[in-house]
Chain A
Amino acid sequence: QSVLTQPPSVSGAPGQRVTISCTGSSSNIGAGYDVHWYQQLPGTAPKLLIYGNSNRPSGVPDRFSGSKSGTSASLAISGLQAEDEADYYCQSYDSSLSGSVFGGGTKLTVL
């Protein structure tokens, strides 16, 4: 069981907006540590999507946005496209474990 909890799956039709939640605790997200998000397309390595809760690396479309509040964070994807179909992972630091931790991952299906 992952330290950060994500829904196993979400889905949406093209053009719609979906959100993926990432729930932590007082030793990670709730302690103020940043949350980062990764996109993993089938058969490929993870790619950084959002860093520092809400910042997009160069080249990531502004359809992707991140937010954080309390012990949780969210990734929002608007204007859903077929190529967004992938697994998404959140990541943070956990002070109890003294290490980086990932969520269990969420599979996004574009209907």
Chain B
Amino acid sequence: EVQLVESGGGLVQPGRSLRLSCAASGFTFDDYAMHWVRQAPGKGLEWVSGISWNSGSIGYADSVKGRFTISRDNAKNSLYLQMNSLRAEDTALYYCAKDGARYSSSWYYAFDIWGQGTMVTVSS
């Protein structure tokens, strides 16, 4: 079964850091780009970041550029999001999502598999 399981969310104070993880199974992880998408409470979806299958291409939304870092470990079938200098507006459910195209180095394609998300709350 194809599965993505996020972890690492929690309550954190403004200005602090948090690292999210996403464990993948059921597909050849190192063939696909991966993404982080977030959803603030009661709001819509926002693409946060994407990383190509070989980590050669990385992209960020303007709202997180310079504060968040995406990475992956293909040997561990895992995706990560290092979040620094967290703000209240970063409060959201963070989803890990699989790109639908093999060996993609762009963000043109649909996200065909999603995890259940991990909640990040930034508050003092």
Contacts and interface: CB of A to CB of B under 8 A. Distances in A.
Interface of A is mostly: strand
Contacts of A2: 44
Nearest to A98: B59
B11 interface: no
B62 A57 contact: no
Contacts, number: 65
B40 to A, nearest CB: 12
Interface in B34-54: 35, 37, 44-47, 50
A36 B47 contact: no
Interface residues of A, number: 26
Contact of A100 (B107, B112, B115, B117): B107
A99 B59 contact: yes
A108 B108 CA distance: 26
User: Which one of A45, A51, A52, A103 has the highest number of Cβ atoms from chain B below 10 Å of its Cβ?
Assistant: A45
A57 B100 CA distance: 11
B2 interface: no
Interface of A: 2, 33-34, 36, 38, 40, 45-48, 51-52, 57, 87, 89, 91, 93, 97-105
Interface of B: 35, 37, 44-47, 50, 59-62, 95, 100, 106-112, 114-117
8 contacts: A46-B95, A48-B110, A51-B100, A91-B45, A99-B60, A99-B61, A102-B44, A105-B44
